[in-house]
Structure 1
Amino acid sequence: MAAHSIDGDAAKQAVDAGLRRLAAAPPAARATVAAEVFAPGCRFHVAHPFNDFAGLSEALAGFFDPLLASLDHAGRTHAIVATDLFEGARLVAVMGHYHGTLTRDLVGIPAHHKPVWIRFGEIHRIEDGRIAESWMLPDMLDLIRQVGLWPLAPSLGAEHQWPTPGGNARALSPTDHDAGHANLALVRAMHAALGTFDGKSLESMDLAPYWTEDFAWYGPAGIGTAFGLDGFRSVHQIPFLTAFPDRQGGQHIGRIGDGEFVVTGGWPSVTATHTGNGFCGMPATGRRVGMRVMDFYRCEGGLIAENWVPLDITHLLLQMGYDIFARLAHLGGNPRTSL
């Protein structure tokens, strides 16, 4: 089967069912189920501290097994599943949550024996009926928040579990590229408006024509959620532009337009120099950084109504000189004892 021959609905259904089945599989069956979903040589790009894996066996040992072993009653729910062709390849994007009771430590995050919801955004490239490359952004900082630890300054926005689109999960809406590509054009026009910032005034970016008046912006842990253009500006845009005034975006590994949903993402999607203070409470470091980030949009009536933003904050902060997982290790009784 050619990389692009599988149709959109079939691709969404296969990815949706396969990844949920993998999350719920008992340990003895996990490798078998994973081999049905992923190609053996699949390349994986996962949020820090997991990072890159060169094949399925590496990804099982380094990501799926430790993640799922940490969760009793493990499962996975999908709020958005969208698909499109990008540069000749069939892509499927998924936004949702892993869930379960955190009964074992995970990458230094201590188990607290309570239910957790690990939100994520993902983009998968399909080839010969299986996933051949995956970009995955589980929000590890939000998991740290859920276990009662917080290694940063207080978030400016509200921190909570991400809601489903419009308050209703509709993960497997029928594929609709006519509407989707119209909405993708809307989102890309908004991205172009972001690029008109003159370095001085927010009004140099005319964003109001692209968003509903009461749009919801769901940021990653460390930034949080805000409503409306005024909330978006105060919670995210002003701290972000102050910290990264030379940011350059749009370096996408995928762009998807499917019905009411648009998805973009890059690895990194944004590059910048950290020359200003305030982002996540951090002072300027002067370091060059790259941001692993995805945007999931829901459009309504020709405007953007909701925007979920998986962003690898732990990796971004590591580039800025702050190792969150090293701090967790210290707090957990394993401090550094030498330079």
Structure 2
Amino acid sequence: MDFQKEKQLVRDFYAALDNATGDAITETMERFCAPAFLWRGYHPFHEQTDPKAVADVFWKPLHGALGKLQRRMDVFMAGRNAIDGGQSTWVVSMGHLMGLFDAPWLGIPPTGKMAFLRYCAFHRVEADKITETAMFFDIPHLMMQAGLQPFPPQTAAHLVQPGPMTHDGLLFDEQPALEGEKTLKAIDFMVKDISNWQSKLSLEDELRRSWNEDMIWWGPAGIGATYTIERYAKQHSGPFRAGFEERKFNGHVAKIAEGHFGGFFGWPNLTLKPSGGFMGFPATGKAGDMRVIDIYRRDGDKLTENWVFIDLLHFWNQQGLDVLGRLKTVPHK
């Protein structure tokens, strides 16, 4: 299957939504999305269950805050969901929503300058309608652009993250099926291999089984991005493993691959109990859920780039830290 019909539907949806204002946003959501639409979003939005609710609680306020909103996509792909045996088709896009930050959003003070909201969205398409969406966006990164520090200093770097080094992530045209199968195989090998946390190999050698030496892990604000296996082990993978004494994998809702790109999301992917030190926070003794989107680029037989979206606001809120709530008590200039 070439997924061209589903891709075009999502592209038409984006074209209408990104240029809409006011009630036209609601009309666009209702025109492209099914009445029983399920939308899964980053904290504090969580689940919304009809198109109008998504327009009212998310898109209208965002358009009001980021004027002249522009979608800058870096990855666009589609595929059959490997989790449900290929029964559903999902279209995925990733990039930034850019605009002029001229009004407050979620208590974040405006800057009057360009701002970038990093996002990734999975859309399930059925019978010419979008029936489900999982959309994660890096709110802490937007806070950092406004001069705020939502978390302690991170172990890696966080920038306005670029798309694939190869600049070929917009898969608007049909892709060879074999390439998608290779990408899915590489993702599955990595997920299975990483679950063996008691490996006798060094962390770096374990990672080399799945990743190319010049890998880049584009992590969320609060953790940061890191380059090469050695630095990834030092700046994220090692601290992550050391920071949680109990880890439970809950599975994924959708997983697809097309061409050299693929990814998945869960709701939640992981349930973890902090044992102290991760992201600079002490142990809490409380289990918390991590909702994660991962997007991958394969080079050869291994993975080489990984864009990661983690709902850290939700996770730390479960630990007793209300990052957005603190904005209400902090005066801004």
TM over 0.5: yes
What is the deviation of 1:279?
1.4
CA shift in 2, pair 1:233/1:250, >3 Å:
farther
Unaligned runs of 5+ in 2: none
CA distance in 2, matches of 1:283, 1:199: 26
Which whole-Å deviations, capped at 9, do the CAs of 1:278-317 have from their partners, x for residues lacking one?
2111101011111110110001111111000011111111
What is the deviation of 1:122?
1.4
**Is the contact made by 1:84 and 1:256 (CA closer than 8 Å) also made in structure 2?**
yes
1:89 corresponds in structure 2 to 88
Q: Tell me the percent identity.
A: 30
**Is the contact made by 2:26 and 2:56 (CA closer than 8 Å) also made in structure 1?**
no
The yes-or-no answer on 1:49 pairing with 2:48 is: no
1:27 corresponds in structure 2 to 22
1:12 corresponds in structure 2 to 7
The yes-or-no answer on 1:209 pairing with 2:209 is: yes
CA distance in 2, matches of 1:54, 1:145: 30
The yes-or-no answer on 1:225 pairing with 2:225 is: yes
Matches within 5 A, 1:121-132: 121-132=120-131
What is the deviation of 1:258?
0.4
CA distance in 1, matches of 2:232, 2:204: 16
**Is the contact made by 2:250 and 2:268 (CA closer than 8 Å) also made in structure 1?**
no
Matches within 5 A, 1:248-287: 248-249=248-249, 251-274=251-274, 276-287=275-286
CA distance in 2, matches of 1:69, 1:255: 33
State the aligned residue count: 327
Amino acid of the structure 1 residue aligned with 2:245: P
CA distance in 2, matches of 1:158, 1:200: 29
SS of residue in 2 equivalent to 1:105 = coil
CA RMSD of aligned residues (A): 1.9
Given the two structures, how large is their TM-score scaled by the length of structure 2? 0.93
What is the deviation of 1:201?
7.0
The yes-or-no answer on 1:311 pairing with 2:306 is: no
What is the deviation of 1:16?
2.6
CA distance in 2, matches of 1:99, 1:167: 22
Unaligned runs of 5+ in 1: 1-5, 334-339
2:235 corresponds in structure 1 to 235
Question: Which portions of structure 1, spanning 4 or more consecutive aligned residues, are displaced by more than 3 angstroms?
Answer: 199-205
1:182 corresponds in structure 2 to 182
CA distance in 2, matches of 1:206, 1:199: 8
SS of residue in 2 equivalent to 1:247 = strand
CA distance in 2, matches of 1:129, 1:71: 30
Amino acid of the structure 1 residue aligned with 2:194: L
Amino acid of the structure 1 residue aligned with 2:236: H
CA distance in 1, matches of 2:200, 2:178: 38
**Is the contact made by 2:262 and 2:296 (CA closer than 8 Å) also made in structure 1?**
yes
What is the deviation of 1:32?
2.1
Given the two structures, how large is their TM-score scaled by the length of structure 1? 0.91
